[in-house]
């Protein structure tokens, strides 16, 4: 039996060879952080040559706050008969889209809940209505749990649901609702969500259809380090099976669990993820995910200083300025940044900021009213 060695495993990763769960766990537990950072950065230059770090302008709008998943980390959801239950109206979408356009954004990240009464017709009609009025808007919408939930309601398979949504205007599928793709964790964390295999099966169908997708991980709660590595390897294996003409997962976005006021916190589960541990996970993600091009650092949950360090450990993207975000912020993430701030942060870290779209295509920076953007953000914060 071969004795595990940090140098041997890292050399293997630099050759873009897939490392095993045992090797990944060994690196997590034993590899010096500076060595992981060095190799993560080397791999980043292989996957994304040059000195550009990308970012995006989009808006995260919640279709509804009604959800039956029962996630113990979510403060945002409510029951169908709760007094604060809502479904976003078309007039509200109009106002939000027009404001987003004024800031130079083009994409709506539409997150739903597992609403027991909303079926496929609701979503196809919504997407068509938005696209008819705003044909240039990109819909990065729903996610595997919502697709599986709709399929169950309608007694359809995942492919049928995805095809109908794509015909109605769905442009890409976010990787939300993954948390940790190990059923031991999911049963405790999100008892009402589809299991790990269902999540992966939805994404497999999306890849077969050529639909652009992303992959995520929320960690730092009840999972073990081995389960984190297992989660990453499941992504790598799924990506290896995508058709050659499909991007599959365009990016991987990990973030630490936010605990404030959650059921998990009441159960005694706290987010203890340090900046060093987050940077370690970014580097390990780059090392293990040898077939996913982009790694995004979550400035929203770890702060901009830690995110800047991640750009030297394997990450090549800082995500969106988040004109609007409700779910993570409801659990204690209060970091804010505008278009000027994100470009400044990238430049200060030694990189060239580059605006992108969801397909990681470079796009020119639009003429935007920064003062209006900042004022709108301040007004929203004051209301909160």
For residue 157, what pLDDT is reported?
98
Closest Cα to residue 229, out of 287, 314, 311? 287
DSSP-based three-state secondary structure for 324? coil
For residue 338, what pLDDT is reported?
83
Contacts of 347 (CB under 8 A, 6+ apart): 353
Contacts of 15 (CB under 8 A, 6+ apart): none
Question: d(Cα 60, Cα 199) in Å, to the nearest integer?
Answer: 21
For residue 211, what pLDDT is reported?
98
DSSP-based three-state secondary structure for 259? coil
Per-residue pLDDT of the chain (384 residues), as tens digits, is: 567 899 999 999 999 999 999 999 999 999 999 999 999 999 999 999 999 999 999 999 999 888 887 778 777 767 777 777 889 999 999 999 999 998 888 999 998 788 889 999 999 999 999 999 999 999 999 999 999 999 999 999 999 999 999 999 999 999 999 999 999 999 998 888 899 999 999 999 999 999 999 999 999 999 999 999 999 999 999 999 999 999 999 999 999 998 888 888 888 888 889 999 999 999 999 999 999 999 999 998 999 999 999 999 999 999 998 776 454 444 434 556 788 899 999 999 999 999 999 999 999 887 655 455 545 544 444 333
Q: Taking a C-beta distance cutoff of 8 angstroms, is the pair 105, 57 a contact?
A: yes
DSSP letter at 145 equals H
DSSP-based three-state secondary structure for 50? coil
Q: Name the token pair of 110.
A: 């539409």
345: exposed, middle or buried (C-beta count within 10 Å: 0-12, 13-18, 19+)?
buried
Q: Taking a C-beta distance cutoff of 8 angstroms, is the pair 216, 250 a contact?
A: no
For residue 327, what pLDDT is reported?
46
For residue 70, what pLDDT is reported?
76
The residue written with tokens 């750009």 in the block is 311
Kindly list the structural domains of the chain, giving each domain's residue range(s) and its CATH number in brackets, ordered by start. 31-46+56-383 (3.20.20.70)
Question: b vs e for 260-287, b when ≥16 Cβ sit within 10 Å of the residue's Cβ?
Answer: eebebbeeebebebeeebbbbbbbbbbb
């Amino acid at each position: 039996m071969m004795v595990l060695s940090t140098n041997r495993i890292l050399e293997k990763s630099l050759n873009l060879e897939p490392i095993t769960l045992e090797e990944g766990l060994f690196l997590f537990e034993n590899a010096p952080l500076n060595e992981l950072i060095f190799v993560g950065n080397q791999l980043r230059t292989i996957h994304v040559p040059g000195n550009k770090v990308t970012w995006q302008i989009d808006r995260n709008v919640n279709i509804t706050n009604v959800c039956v998943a029962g996630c113990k980390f979510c403060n945002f959801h409510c029951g169908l008969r709760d007094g604060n239950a809502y479904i976003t109206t078309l007039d509200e979408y109009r106002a939000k889209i027009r404001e987003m356009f004024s800031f130079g954004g083009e994409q709506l990240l539409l997150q739903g809940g597992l609403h027991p009464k909303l079926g496929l017709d609701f979503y196809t009609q919504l997407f068509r209505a938005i696209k008819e009025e705003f044909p240039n808007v990109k819909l990065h919408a729903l996610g595997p749990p919502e697709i599986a939930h709709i399929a169950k309601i309608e007694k359809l398979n995942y492919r049928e649901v995805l095809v109908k949504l794509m015909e109605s205007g769905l442009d890409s599928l976010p990787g939300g609702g993954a948390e940790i793709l190990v059923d031991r964790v999911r049963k405790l964390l999100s008892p009402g969500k589809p299991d790990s295999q269902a999540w992966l099966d939805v994404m497999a169908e999306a890849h077969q259809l050529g639909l652009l997708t992303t992959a995520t991980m929320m960690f730092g709660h009840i999972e073990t380090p081995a389960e984190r590595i297992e989660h990453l390897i499941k992504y790598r294996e799924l990506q290896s099976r995508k058709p050659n003409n499909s991007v599959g997962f365009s990016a991987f976005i990990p973030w630490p669990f936010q605990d404030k006021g959650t059921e998990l916190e009441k159960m005694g589960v706290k987010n203890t993820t340090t900046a060093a541990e987050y940077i370690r996970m970014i580097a390990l993600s780059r090392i293990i995910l040898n077939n996913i091009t982009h790694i995004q650092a979550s400035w929203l949950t770890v702060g901009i200083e830690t995110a800047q360090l991640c750009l030297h450990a394997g990450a090549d993207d800082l995500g969106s300025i988040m004109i609007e975000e409700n779910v993570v912020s409801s659990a204690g993430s209060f970091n804010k940044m505008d278009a000027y701030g994100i470009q400044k942060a990238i430049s200060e870290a030694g990189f060239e900021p580059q605006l992108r779209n969801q397909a990681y295509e470079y796009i020119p920076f639009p003429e935007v009213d920064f003062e209006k953007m900042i004022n709108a953000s301040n007004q929203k914060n004051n209301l909160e």
